[in-house]
Amino acid sequence: MGRLPRSKEMRSRKEDSEDEESDDDSSGGGSFVVAAKAANSQQWSTSRRHSDTKKRKKHTNEEGEEWSESQQKKDIIAAFLDPNSGIHTLSIPTIFEEYAADHGWIKSNATSNIRTIKKQYEGKKGPFSEKEVNKIEPFKTRTTKSKAYTLLLKVHMNSEQSGVENMTIEQLHQSQTCFRQYPLNDFKTYNTDIRRLAMKKKEKLQLDTSALMSHMKAHPRREYTDRGLKFWDTHAAYEMLKTDLDKIEKGLLDPTTPKLLWETRKSYKEFP
């Protein structure tokens, strides 16, 4: 085959060069698209992680406790359900100060959650819906004990202070919201069972206390501990410290460090 004329040969080389540049542009463009997609994916993933972290922080306190399971949320809901609690007229910041301020919650996050609860109360939604309000908590199951069960047992265990023995069953039934949720006849049965349980616990407590006192009498405590110190709970310094701390709390004594307080009394210095 003969050689192409010079003009055609140059035109052919130019076309080949343009084809190569076109291939290079196509290849480079594909790489750029892939890189852009990867960058967008990474940015979205990072943004989502930050969003999830922010969301978790909004609903957890310093100890990592979830707001949804916190005692503070339960107390606030219970207060809204109690018409005599006074919470209904309080501002959101005041509710926070009275119910949640000392439990490690970020104020802005907690007040947002409290505001949600108040809106639910006003709209009769969530825990304030008719279905939830009228739902009766099982008094006791194999694995759970209701608030009424725990409170009723406490009332009978401390019968001298609570005065339960001087109350009629109707008065006891009406004394607490958690008692009133059960029909009176059912509550009578619960009260009988709890009273019997409390009596057994008291009897066991008396036996254990008697056994302990007998043991202490048979094996009296020595005057000094193994470290050569007098026993703290029977020493005069014990009552003195209680008095001093009470005065500090009431503002009758200036706050001080433990070391400086220790130096104020000779009896304190008997304990390193």
Residue 5 lies in a domain: no
Give pLDDT < 50 ranges for the chain: 26, 52-53, 55
Q: Quickly list H helices, 59-103.
A: 71-81, 92-99
pLDDT for the residue numbered 131:
85
Q: Are residues 50 and 85 in the same domain?
A: yes
Q: Are residues 209 and 241 in the same domain?
A: no
Quote the tokens at residue 58.
Answer: 């909004």
Q: Are residues 155 and 195 in the same domain?
A: yes
Q: Are residues 97 and 121 in the same domain?
A: yes
Residue 8 lies in a domain: no
Residue 253 lies in a domain: yes
Q: Are residues 120 and 59 in the same domain?
A: yes
> Is residue 153 within 8 Å of 194, Cβ to Cβ?
yes
Q: Are residues 123 and 205 in the same domain?
A: no
Using one digit for the tens of pLDDT, what is the confidence trace for 8-30? 555 555 555 555 555 555 455 55
Q: Are residues 51 and 104 in the same domain?
A: yes
Q: Are residues 206 and 237 in the same domain?
A: no
User: Residue 17: CA atoms inside 13 Å, Cβ hemisphere, count?
Assistant: 6
pLDDT for the residue numbered 251:
86
Residue 14 lies in a domain: no
Contacts of 270 (CB under 8 A, 6+ apart): 229, 230, 235, 237
- Exposure pattern of 210-243 as b/e (b: 16+ CB <10 Å)? eeeeeeeeeeeeeeeeeeeebeeeebebeeebee
| CA–CA dist 195, 182 (Å, integer) | 17
Residue with tokens 């036996």: 207
Is the whole model's pTM more than 0.75, yes or no?
no
Q: Are residues 130 and 151 in the same domain?
A: no
Residue 19 lies in a domain: no
Contacts of 52 (CB under 8 A, 6+ apart): none
Return the closest-CA partner of residue 148 out of 200, 85, 190, 197.
Answer: 190
Q: Are residues 48 and 130 in the same domain?
A: yes
Domain that holds residue 187: 147-218
Q: Are residues 118 and 41 in the same domain?
A: yes
pLDDT for the residue numbered 2:
53
| CA–CA dist 229, 86 (Å, integer) | 52
Q: Are residues 169 and 195 in the same domain?
A: yes
The Cβ of residue 81 has, within 10 Å, a number of other Cβ atoms equal to 15
Quote the tokens at residue 162.
Answer: 């609570």
pLDDT for the residue numbered 199:
97
Q: Quickly list H helices, 100-183.
A: 107-123, 130-133, 147-157, 159-162, 169-174, 177-180
> Which of 81, 106, 135 is the endpoint of a domain?
135
Three-state DSSP class for 33?
Answer: helix
Residue 227 lies in a domain: no
Residue 54 lies in a domain: yes
> Which of 106, 135, 164 is the endpoint of a domain?
135
Residue 100 lies in a domain: yes
List phi, psi (to 5°) of 43: -65, -40
Compute the residue count for the chain: 272
Give the type of residue at 12: S
> Which of 110, 135, 160 is the endpoint of a domain?
135
Domain count, the chain: 3
